[in-house]
Structure 1
Amino acid sequence: MKEIMKNRTKKFALDCWILCSKLPKSREFNAYVSQLIRCSSSVGANYRALQRAKSNADFINKLKIIEEEADESHFFLELLYDVSSLQNLKLDNEFIPLTQEANEITAIIVSTLKTVRNKS
C-alpha cells in the first residue's frame, strides 16, 4: 500500500501540473495555478517524507500536513474549475478526476490518521 500511495501522490502532482499547463497565462490564473502546483506536489513530497518518520508523533504530524495539502489542492482545483467555467474553457474531463483524486487521497489520509491515533 505504501508504494501504491507513493506513486499515486506523485501522479496526482504530475496530473495537476499537466492541467495547469493547459490553463491561460494571466496574472489571475497564475496566482491560483502556482498555489495548486505547490500544494499538489507537497502531497507527494510529504507522503514520501512520511516513510522516514522518526516517531509516532512525527508520523502523525506528517499525515496532518498531507491532509491539509490534499484539502488545499481540492480547494484550488474547485476554484480553478469555477474560473475556467466562467471563461468557457471546457476542461471538465481534466478537473473532475483530479477533484475526485484529491478527495480520495484526503479520505485515505484521514482514515490512516484515525487508525494511528487509535493505536496510540
Structure 2
Amino acid sequence: MKIIISNTSKEPIYEQIKRQLKEAILKGELKEGELLPSIRQLAKDLHISVITTKRAYDDLEKEGYIFSVVGKGSFVAEPNREFLREMRLKWIEEKLAEVVAESKSLNISLAELQEMLKLLYDEG
C-alpha cells in the first residue's frame, strides 16, 4: 500500500490519507482483516505528525472502514456489502462527473461520450 501526500493540495493531509485508504479498501486492494501500518509507522514513513495519522485512522474507524485492537493494531473491517456497493457507486459517479466536466470543456457531445463509454464497456 502506497500513500502519496501532496503538500501543495488544499486537501488536509489527514483527508488525503483517509481518502486513499478508503479507495484502496473500496477497490479491494486492502482486504478484510488486513493489518494496516501502525499510526506511528505510517507517520514516520510519510514524515508527518502522529496526530495527523491518528485523526485519519479515527475517522476511518468511525465510518466503519477499519477497526482497532488494543496492542495489535488497526485492521480493515468486514465490509457491509450494501454499504460497500453504495460507496463504490458513489466513487464511480464522482469519476464520471470528472469525465463529463472534461468532455464539456472539450466540446465532446453526449453522443460521442456515450459511444466512448460503450466501446470501453464492451472491451472489458
Query: Do both share a fold (TM > 0.5)?
Result: no
* TM-score normalised by structure 2 residue count: 0.31
Q: Based on CA coordinates, which of the two structures has the bigger radius of gyration?
A: 2
Larger RCO (CA under 8 A, 6+ residues apart): 1
Q: Which has the higher helix share?
A: 1
Q: Which has the higher strand share?
A: 2
* TM-score normalised by structure 1 residue count: 0.31
